[in-house]
Structure 1
Amino acid sequence: MPTYEGLRLKLLKFKRLKFANRRRKKLNKTDFTIISNNCWGGMLYESYNLPKQSPTVGLYFMASDYIKFVSNLHGYIEKDLKFIQPGESKWKDSEQIKNDVHFGEYPIGKLGDIEIFFLHYKDEEEALAKWQRRVKRINWDRLLIKFNDQNGCTLKDLNDFLSLPYKNKVFFTSNKWPNITNDRVIKISQFPKHKSIMASYEPFGSNKYLNIENLLNSL
């Protein structure tokens, strides 16, 4: 039986694709790279009918690994992507992975000491080919770095993210974080309540929480 979140995602996919060309007309820049800790970047490219100009599409990172990744983006991007078996994952006993009924069905990649979960890829060959192709498309001059409170995100992870020297970055959350007042932290209300933001609540177009067109045009 479909979940509430699953139904929301299906409806939002229809809305993303149906009005994509209309949204695209609001952009004066279309050559940009979104580095994201989950599938949001890929969803955003689809929302504006743009080619996916980032390797971080259709996949996710655990929070602390993602912070390592974006803290040394050039260094990790230059590493060879290798693959491991699910039982070799350092995250296999984490709460997030234990609750993932599809764990073991999708490829798991490694760049040095970080792991990448290729959630929407059928096998290692597809994951590697698309990763290598999209790495070449990165526009290093127009980067948007996106993070959220999923996959074990801690207050330290958030503070580390906010301290990164990227001009353009944004953090989506459904929680109130102590002593955090930063306009890059976007607090989003969602239903039902959940310990972290759900994918269907991350904005794929401009809404009351964020004017995405203005953000993308400023890159």
Structure 2
Amino acid sequence: MNNAILQDKVFKFYTKLPHCIVCRKRHMKNVRSRFNYSDLSDISIFAANCIGGELYYLLGLKFSSPLINISIDRNQFITLCSNLKEYLSQPISVSLHNGMCVGKIGGGSGLKEVEIRFPHDTDCESVKKKWAERCKRVNYEKIVLINDDKGLTVSDYEAYKAIPAFRKILFTAKDMSGEYEFCHQLAEYDGQTYTGSYNGKSLDGLWKFTKMWDYVSFLNGDTH
């Protein structure tokens, strides 16, 4: 059993504690009361880590993206999203490595190969099936991109800037909003080289990012 799956089991048990249940219900009630369901219920969230799936869960939305419970190198995420339709039209190969499913897509038709890790999954056939189903639901008119600054170069920022998207954000450790309007500094990591683990779990049963970032305002188009 890999570390991510073990952590899933422990956290699932922990979140059944009364204080976690109360906090989670309170948070979900708040965000669902503010989210613009009439216009945004069909958004397709593409995130470089597993917070994309958590956003769908917190808001009660149907998974309209294949990037659920995944991890991908941040520069490869940019490569993927720069040619999203082309990549998602390609078959994905999935195999088991170090106790987790690892997918590879591209490598043909002029597309660079991109590796996508599924740290919460060990059933490769199930991963392929869900990937295919969710690719069919993608709304290319309402693509939401969520990335962070881990390992990115200046050219990566420029490439990310060039990607058209309905909503787009890139979490950074330092304030770069003056250079790139899509950048959003996570103040908790000010002074560090890259952002830390904003997708980790908190003792109240919620994910760390729920306290660092007003994701409803971002998705509604009000602010980063």
Question: Which TM bucket (shorter chain)?
Answer: 0.7 to 0.9
- By relative contact order (CA 8 Å, sep 6+), the higher-ranking structure is 1
Q: Among the aligned pairs, what percent are the same residue?
A: 23
User: Structure 1 unaligned runs (5+)?
Assistant: 1-5, 87-103
Cα distance, 1:191–1:181 mapped onto 2, change above 3 Å: closer
TM-score (norm 1): 0.73
Kept in 2: contact 1:82–1:110 (CA 8 A): yes
Q: Which deviates more, 73-82 or 60-69?
A: 60-69
Query: Is 1:212 paired with 2:215?
Result: yes
Aligned residue number for residue 181 of structure 1: 179
Query: Is 1:41 paired with 2:49?
Result: no
Cα distance, 1:24–1:74 mapped onto 2, change above 3 Å: same
Cα distance, 1:27–1:194 mapped onto 2, change above 3 Å: same
Higher helix share: 2
Root-mean-square deviation over aligned CA pairs: 3.2
Query: Is 1:159 paired with 2:161?
Result: no
**Number of residue-to-residue matches in the alignment:** 192
| Secondary structure of the structure 2 residue equivalent to 1:171 | strand
Distance 2:11 2:87 in 1: 34
Distance 2:125 2:25 in 1: 27
Kept in 1: contact 2:96–2:122 (CA 8 A): no
Aligned residue number for residue 108 of structure 1: 102
The one of 36, 52, 77 aligned to 1:66: 77
Q: Deviations over 1:96-136 (max 9, x none)?
A: xxxxxxxx111111111111111111221121121111112
Amino acid at match of 2:115: E
Distance 2:143 2:32 in 1: 18
Cα distance, 1:106–1:218 mapped onto 2, change above 3 Å: same
Cα distance, 1:202–1:183 mapped onto 2, change above 3 Å: farther
Distance 1:157 1:197 in 2: 19
Kept in 1: contact 2:76–2:114 (CA 8 A): yes
| Secondary structure of the structure 2 residue equivalent to 1:166 | coil
Distance 2:172 2:213 in 1: 13
Alpha-carbon deviation of 1:176? 5.0
Distance 1:36 1:202 in 2: 16
TM-score (norm 2): 0.72
Aligned residue number for residue 94 of structure 1: none
